[in-house]
Chain A
Amino acid sequence: MKITLTVNGRKENLEVEPSTTLLEALRMLGLYSVRKGCDTASCGVCTVLMDSKPILSCCSLAVQAQGHSITTVEGLEKDKDFEEIRKNLLLEGADQCGYCGPSLLLTVYSLKKRNIKSLQEIQKYLVGNLCRCTGYHSQLRAIKEFMEVGE
Chain B
Amino acid sequence: MKYVKRSIKKVDGYGILSGKPAYTDDLAPRNSLIVKLLRSPYAFARVRKIDTSEARSLEGVECVLTHEDFPRIPFTRAGQGYPEPSPYDKFALDSYVRYVGDEVAVVAAKDEQTAEKALKLIEVDYEVLNPVLDFEFSEKSPPIHPEDGISGVENQQNNVCSAYEMDIGNIEEELKKCAHVVKHRVYTQAQAHVMMEPHAAFSYIDYQGRLVVVTSSQVPFHIRRILSRVLDIPLRNIRVVKPRIGGGFGGKQAVHGEIYAAAVTLKTGKPSKIIYSRKEVFESSYTRHPMRIDVTLGSDEKGVLKAIDMEILSDTGAYGEHALTTLMVAGSKNLPLYNRVNAVRFKGKVVYTNHTPAGAYRGYGAVQGNFALESAMDILASKLGLDPVKLRQLNMIREGETSPIFKIMGEGREGAEMTIKSCKLEQCVELGKRIFGWSEKFSKRPESGTKVRGVGMAIAMQGSGIAKIDMGSAILKLNDDGSFNLLVGATDLGTGSDTILAQIAAETLNVPVKKVVPYSSDTDLTPFDTGAYASSTTYVSGNAVKRAAEKMKHLIVQHGSKLFNCSEEEVVFNGEEIIGPEQRLPLSEFATKLYYSENQTQLCSTASFVGDEAPPPYMSAFCEIELDTETGKITPVRYVAVVDCGVPINPNLARVQVEGALVQGIGMALYEEVKYDSKGRLMTNSMMNYRIPSRLDIGDIEVHFVESYEPTGPYGAKSVAEIGIDTPPAAISNAVYNAVGIRLHDLPFTPEKVLKALRVKEGF
Contact = CB atoms under 8 A, between A and B. Distances in A.
- A and B form one complex: yes
Interface string A42-59: 110100000000000000
B687 interface: yes
B310 interface: no
A136 B695 contact: yes
Interface in A21-54: 30-43, 45
A53 to B, nearest CB: 19
Contacts of B20: 32
A93 B494 CA distance: 11
B660 A133 contact: yes
Nearest to B26: A32
Interface string B7-33: 101101110111111110010000000
Interface in B1-57: 7, 9-10, 12-14, 16-23, 26
Interface string A70-102: 001110010000000010011111111111111
B26 A96 contact: no
B17 A102 contact: yes
B10 A95 contact: yes
Nearest to B248: A97
A139 B195 CA distance: 17
Nearest to A73: B19
A64 to B, nearest CB: 20
B7 A127 contact: no
A65 interface: no
A58 to B, nearest CB: 11
Nearest to B666: A135
Most buried by A among B10, B12, B247: B247
A66 interface: no
Contacts of B701: 135, 137
Nearest to B724: A135
B242 to A, nearest CB: 12
Interface in B643-683: 650, 652-653, 655-657, 659-664
Contacts of A36: 198
Nearest to B249: A132
Contacts of B277: 39
A66 B14 CA distance: 31
B132 interface: no
B350 interface: no
A45 B194 CA distance: 13
A98 B13 contact: yes
Given A35-B197, A90-B10, A92-B652, A136 B698 contact: yes
Contacts of B694: 127-128, 130
Contact of A134 (B113, B195, B278, B659): B659
B520 to A, nearest CB: 14
Contact of B195 (A32, A35, A77, A132): A132
B287 interface: no
Interface in A114-151: 123-124, 126-140
B692 interface: yes
Contacts of A34: 19
Contacts of B194: 132
| Binding site secondary structure of chain A | loop
Nearest to B112: A24
B760 interface: no
B252 to A, nearest CB: 11
B279 interface: yes
Q: How large is the interface on A (under 10, 10 to 19, 20 to 34, 35 or more residues)?
A: 35 or more
A31 B25 CA distance: 12
Given A32-B19, A93-B655, A40 B247 contact: no
B247 A126 contact: no
A99 B687 contact: no
B495 interface: yes
B547 interface: no
Contacts of A101: 16-17
Contacts of A43: 196, 687
A123 B17 contact: no
A127 to B, nearest CB: 5
Most buried by A among B22, B197, B279, B656: B656
A105 interface: yes
B695 A140 contact: yes
Interface in B192-220: 193-198
Contacts of B196: 35, 37, 43, 45, 97, 99-100, 130-133
A73 B17 contact: yes
B17 A105 contact: yes
Contacts of B751: none
Contacts of A102: 17-19
11 contacts: A32-B19, A37-B246, A39-B686, A40-B686, A42-B686, A77-B18, A91-B9, A98-B12, A98-B17, A99-B247, A102-B17
Interface of B: 7, 9-10, 12-14, 16-23, 26, 113, 193-198, 244-247, 249, 277-279, 493-496, 650, 652-653, 655-657, 659-664, 686-688, 692, 694-696, 698, 701
Given A38-B686, A97-B196, A127-B695, 16 more contacts: A40-B686, A40-B687, A42-B687, A89-B17, A93-B10, A95-B10, A97-B197, A98-B16, A129-B695, A130-B196, A132-B196, A133-B196, A133-B656, A134-B656, A136-B663, A137-B659
9 closest Cβ pairs, A-B complex: A33-B19, A97-B494, A99-B246, A93-B652, A98-B16, A135-B659, A135-B663, A42-B687, A99-B196
